[in-house]
Structure 1
Amino acid sequence: MLLPTMALAFAGSVLSPPPVLVPSPRDTAPRLVVLIIVDQFRPDHLLRYRAEWTGGFKRLLDEGMLFTDGRQDHAITQTGPGHSTVLSGRFPAHTGIVTNDFGVPDRLFPLIDDPKAVGASPHRFQGSALLDWMIARDSTTRMLSVAMKDRSAILPIGRARGEVYWWSKLGFFTTSRYYRDSLPSWVREWNQRNPMGDLVGRQWGLSKHEGAYLEADSLPAENGRDGRNTFPHALPRDLGTAAAMVPHFPWMDSLTLDLALTGVAALGLGIGDESRTDLLSVALSSTDEIGHDFGPDSRELHDMLLRLDGYLAWFLDSLAATTPRDRILLVLTSDHGTQAMPEQAPPTDGRAAGRAWPTAMVRGIATDLRDRWRTDFEIRFDYGIVTADLVALRSRGIDTDSLSRRLAARFQLEPYVDRVYTPRSLALAPQSDPIAGRWRHTVPDDFGWLVAVTPYEGITWDSWTVGANHGTPWLADVQVPLLFWGDGIKPRTVTRTVRTVDIAPTVARLIGAPPTEPLDGVVLPEVAGRTR
Structure 2
Amino acid sequence: MSKPFSAMLLAGAFALMQGGTVMAQANEQPKLIVGIVVDQMRWDYLYRYYDRYGAGGFKRMLGEGFSCENTYISHLPSFTAVGHSTVYTGSVPAIHGITGNDWTDQLTGRHWYCTEDTTEQSVGSSSAAGKMSPRNLLASTITDELRLATNFRSKVVGVSLKDRASILPAGHTPNGAFWLDDSNASFITSTYYMKELPEWVQKFNAKKEPAQLMSKPWETLYPINTYLQSSADNSKWEGTYTGETAPVFPHNMPEIYPKNPVSLRATPSGNTLTLDFAKAAIEGYNLGKGTATDFLTINCASTDYVGHQFGPNSIEVEDTYLRLDKDLAAFFTYLDQRVGKGKYLVFLTADHGAAHAVGFMKEHNIPGDLLVNKNELDGLLKEKFGTGGLVRGLWNYHVNFNVSRIDSAKLDYDAIKKETVKWLLKQPGVQFAVDVDNIGNSAIPEPIKSMIINGYNPKRTGSVMIVPEPGWYQGAATGTTHGNWNAYDVHIPLVFMGWHVKHGASNDITHMTDIAPTIAAMLRIQMPNGCVGKPVKQVTGQP
TM-score by length of 1: 0.88
In the alignment, residue 106 of structure 1 is paired with which amino acid?
D
In the alignment, residue 111 of structure 1 is paired with which amino acid?
S
Q: How far apart are residue 516 of structure 1 and its match?
A: 5.1
In the alignment, structure 1 residue 352 sits paired with structure 2 residue 367: yes
Give structure 1 stretches of 5+ with no counterpart: 1-26
Q: How far apart are residue 405 of structure 1 and its match?
A: 0.9
CA contact (8 A) 1:144 1:260 kept: no
Q: How far apart are residue 371 of structure 1 and its match?
A: 9.5
In the alignment, residue 82 of structure 1 is paired with which amino acid?
G
- Which structure has the larger Rg over C-alpha atoms? 2
Q: Note closer, same or farther for the CA distance 1:65–1:407 as it changes in structure 2 (3 Å cut).
A: same
C-alpha RMSD of matched pairs (Å): 2.4
Residue pairs, 1:118-517, within 5 angstroms: 119-138=131-150, 139-170=152-183, 171-214=185-228, 215=230, 216-226=232-242, 227=244, 228-237=246-255, 240-273=258-291, 276-345=292-361, 352-358=367-373, 360-361=375-376, 364=379, 372=387, 379-391=392-404, 393-429=406-442, 433-462=446-475, 464-515=476-527, 517=529
Q: How far apart are residue 363 of structure 1 and its match?
A: 5.9
Counterpart residue number, 1:71 = 72
| Cα distance in 2, alignment partners of residues 179 and 388 from structure 1 | 36
Q: Note closer, same or farther for the CA distance 1:251–1:179 as it changes in structure 2 (3 Å cut).
A: same
Q: How far apart are residue 239 of structure 1 and its match?
A: 6.1
Q: How far apart are residue 236 of structure 1 and its match?
A: 3.8
| Cα distance in 2, alignment partners of residues 359 and 236 from structure 1 | 40
CA contact (8 A) 1:383 1:472 kept: no
| Cα distance in 2, alignment partners of residues 182 and 363 from structure 1 | 48
Q: Note closer, same or farther for the CA distance 1:509–1:430 as it changes in structure 2 (3 Å cut).
A: farther
CA contact (8 A) 1:347 1:458 kept: no
Q: Note closer, same or farther for the CA distance 1:153–1:361 as it changes in structure 2 (3 Å cut).
A: farther
Q: How far apart are residue 364 of structure 1 and its match?
A: 4.9
| Cα distance in 2, alignment partners of residues 302 and 319 from structure 1 | 26
| Cα distance in 2, alignment partners of residues 333 and 314 from structure 1 | 18
Count of residue pairs brought into register by the alignment: 499
3-state SS of 2:279 partner: helix
Q: How far apart are residue 123 of structure 1 and its match?
A: 2.1
In the alignment, residue 131 of structure 2 is paired with which amino acid?
G
Show CA shifts across 1:133-168 (max 9, x none). 112211211011100111111111232353101111
3-state SS of 1:153 partner: helix
Q: How far apart are residue 332 of structure 1 and its match?
A: 0.2
| Cα distance in 2, alignment partners of residues 430 and 512 from structure 1 | 42
| Cα distance in 2, alignment partners of residues 225 and 370 from structure 1 | 46
| Cα distance in 2, alignment partners of residues 331 and 244 from structure 1 | 28
| Cα distance in 1, alignment partners of residues 264 and 257 from structure 2 | 10
CA contact (8 A) 2:359 2:477 kept: no
Q: Note closer, same or farther for the CA distance 1:408–1:347 as it changes in structure 2 (3 Å cut).
A: farther
Q: How far apart are residue 201 of structure 1 and its match?
A: 4.1
Show CA shifts across 1:151-198 (max 9, x none). 111111232353101111121111122222321111111111111332
| Cα distance in 1, alignment partners of residues 190 and 530 from structure 2 | 30
| Cα distance in 1, alignment partners of residues 384 and 213 from structure 2 | 51
CA contact (8 A) 1:431 1:437 kept: no
Show CA shifts across 1:69-122 (max 9, x none). 211211211111111100100011111011111322334334331424473222
3-state SS of 1:420 partner: strand
Counterpart residue number, 1:5 = none
Give structure 2 stretches of 5+ with no counterpart: 1-26, 104-113
Q: Note closer, same or farther for the CA distance 1:287–1:201 as it changes in structure 2 (3 Å cut).
A: same
Counterpart residue number, 1:105 = 116
